[in-house]
Amino acid sequence: VAGIVTLTTDFGVRDPWVGTMKGVILGINPLVRLVDLTHEVERHEVLEAALALEAAVPFFPHGTVHLVVVDPGVGGERRGLVIAAGRDRFVGPDNGLFTPVLLGDGWEAFELSAPQYRLPAVSATFHGRDVFAPAAAHLALGVEPERFGCPVRDPVCLPWPAARRTPAGVAGEVIHVDRFGNLITSIRAGDLPLDPVVQVAGRSAPVAHAYGSAAAGQLIGLVGSSGRLEVAVTEGSAALVLGVDRGAPVAVSSGSRSSPKK
């Protein structure tokens, strides 16, 4: 087995760009396993790709190579990066995509500059194909990260959405709206107060155990599969019902405190 490469881009699936990257990878590493995470990242939305990576990476075997190409600066001055974190590898442009990895311990980053791990001709517009895909293929073959270029001490790190303590509990924001209209927030399971009540868009909602545990149409909070607080409408779309989008403030207070008579 010659390793796994995951692919995350904003290229969509209408044009053959993702398939072309896979052709390049298989030309270098014919046995590698290729897994799409998503190619429907909103165009140039680096944070959205970073969140997808955060959700998926822990469920892949150690040693997986994660190739991420959301690259508004292609052809400009931005660096390419190879990051090693434990046995996992990450490759893509240095624009904050790897923030969740960089917030952890024990990573090393290298500039992606060695010409022997690129295609012979590098276009100005498609480094996913000409630079990042060949690097991912070589990483999956076991090429050591330091072979790709000089160490990078200061890879770009995005301000990472977090929750903050408030007198009443915790406050955060909507960081992503999924296909079902569920609102994914910056508040994590461990941030929640006892007996939590969610406030969003002027509405209150209890925190339920699962989507199926509330009546259809009910607004609920719940801890989603990535360990983040989500706001959902059972059998419906919280985004539509509440009319909110990414960035909307979300607060959680303790129901026991705010309604001691309960």
> What residues make contact with a second copy under the rule CB under 8 A?
1, 4, 6, 8, 11-20, 22-24, 26-27, 30-31, 33-40, 43-44, 52-53, 55-56, 59-61, 64, 72-76, 78, 123-126, 129-130, 178-180, 209-213, 222-225, 235
Shortest Å, Cβ 213 to a second copy: 6
Collect all residues with Cβ–Cβ distance below 8 Å to 261 and sequence separation of at least 6.
Answer: none
Shortest Å, Cβ 24 to a second copy: 5
Kindly tell me which of 213 and 256 has the beta carbon lying closer to a second copy: 213
- Do 95 and 81 contact (CB within 8 A), yes or no? no
Residues facing residue 204 across a β-bridge = 199
- Do 191 and 164 contact (CB within 8 A), yes or no? no
What totals of helices (H) and strands (E) does the chain contain, helices first?
7, 14
* Dihedral pair phi/psi, residue 22, rounded to 5°: -65, -35
Element (H, E) at 223: strand 219-223
Kindly tell me which of 127 and 171 has the beta carbon lying closer to a second copy: 127
Kindly tell me which of 223 and 250 has the beta carbon lying closer to a second copy: 223
Shortest Å, Cβ 77 to a second copy: 8
CA 227 to CA 176: how far, in whole Å?
A: 14
Phi-psi region of 145 (alpha: psi -120 to 50; beta: other; left: phi over 0): alpha
Kindly tell me which of 37 and 139 has the beta carbon lying closer to a second copy: 37
Shortest Å, Cβ 138 to a second copy: 15
Shortest Å, Cβ 212 to a second copy: 4
- Do 186 and 172 contact (CB within 8 A), yes or no? yes
Residues facing residue 68 across a β-bridge = 8
Shortest Å, Cβ 254 to a second copy: 21
* Dihedral pair phi/psi, residue 222, rounded to 5°: -160, 155
Shortest Å, Cβ 201 to a second copy: 22
Kindly tell me which of 136 and 171 has the beta carbon lying closer to a second copy: 136
Kindly tell me which of 171 and 176 has the beta carbon lying closer to a second copy: 176
Kindly tell me which of 135 and 171 has the beta carbon lying closer to a second copy: 135
Shortest Å, Cβ 172 to a second copy: 19
Between the two ends of the chain, the Cα-to-Cα distance in Å is 59
Q: How many CA atoms lie within 13 A of 89 on its CB side?
A: 29
Q: What token pair was written down for 146?
A: 């330091």
Kindly tell me which of 118 and 171 has the beta carbon lying closer to a second copy: 118
CA 199 to CA 9: how far, in whole Å?
A: 33
